[in-house]
Amino acid sequence: MGGHAIHVWGAQELNPAVYVPGTCQAGQFGLSAPGPCSTAGNANFRRKLPQLYPNIGGTTLSFMSQYQAEGNQTYNGVLLSVQRRAARGVTVGGNYTLSHCYGDDASKESQGGGPGATYIDPNNRNFDRGNCEGDRRHIFNMTAVAQTPRFANTALRSLATGWRFSGIYRISSGGWLSILSGQDRSLSGVTSQRAQQVLANPYGNNKLTQYLNPAAFALPALGSYGNTGLNSIQGPHTWEFDLAMVRVFKLRESQNLEARIEAYNVTNSFRPGIGSPASGIGAPVTSLSSGNFGQINLALDPRLLQFALKYVF
């Protein structure tokens, strides 16, 4: 299988704050006292347009983004499937997908005008080129359906005949994570900047409390962007095992009663969830400025049971 999308929408910041190194005097770039020329507080005075046209003023224009239909994304994959047709009341099937999706960041879904809705480097769209947010390199599904036979014993036939059992087991490799610095280190006024990776192995030694190793990342130097790519670190794998039991009781010729029992996450196992880096919760937390960085502190649903009766007439 394969697909290629062109003219993917993205947004570019047209009026970023320009990093000015060194020390400036009071009055320069909005400074009230001598100090560093570039700070988080004087971003509007360092923006591109006020420097090109000083008569505009330092705070007249702030964010100014422009949508562009210049991105692209590519998907390649192979799907293998096998099925054992019904034999002795049992049907089994399975499939495995090996795939890769990559391209320009297509998560810029806001209406524009905000600092986090644009490419991180306004002059380099390819800096935000990497694995797709929904990319799962490996996906395996297995399903089974079994039906109880018709028993000869009258009592057993009325209680056990006609039950249909179905189950599905799914496991997939983890999604891809962007490691965020949590700060405006480039001092450009654009948010969601990424961290600097300083160790080759980004993973910690504990799945829950240290899935990511904090020592493997650092804040980029002021005026620079981190070297970690978009969605470059793989998160933990996910899986699910669900079962269902269904039987239809025939009451009369045109009246049926369907009984259904469903169980999700049958084994009641811990499965990492998905959170927001800004909230400090997730699987794992990816903001380097968070005290919970690298920890998995969010879970998917525990075991859930559902019981239902449906009367059809």
pLDDT tens by residue, the chain, 313 residues: 999 999 988 888 899 999 999 999 998 888 999 999 999 888 988 998 888 887 776 667 788 888 888 889 999 999 999 998 877 779 999 999 999 999 987 665 555 556 667 889 988 989 999 999 889 999 999 999 998 888 878 777 777 788 899 999 999 999 999 999 999 999 998 888 999 999 999 999 988 899 999 999 999 999 999 999 999 999 999 999 999 999 988 888 888 899 999 999 999 998 888 765 555 566 899 999 999 999 998 888 999 999 999 998 8
Residues 108, 115: Cα–Cα separation, whole Å: 11
Task: Give the pair of three-digit tokens for residue 158.
Answer: 């009325």
Considering the entire predicted model, what is its pTM? 0.83
Query: Strand locations in the chain, DSSP E?
Result: 2-13, 23-24, 35-36, 65-87, 90-104, 129-131, 138-147, 164-172, 176-177, 196-197, 203-206, 210-212, 217-218, 233-234, 238-252, 255-264, 304-312
- Contacts for 87 with CB less than 8 Å, ≥ 6 apart: none
Nearest to 15 by CA among 69, 51, 41: 51
Task: Give the pair of three-digit tokens for residue 53.
Answer: 């046209």
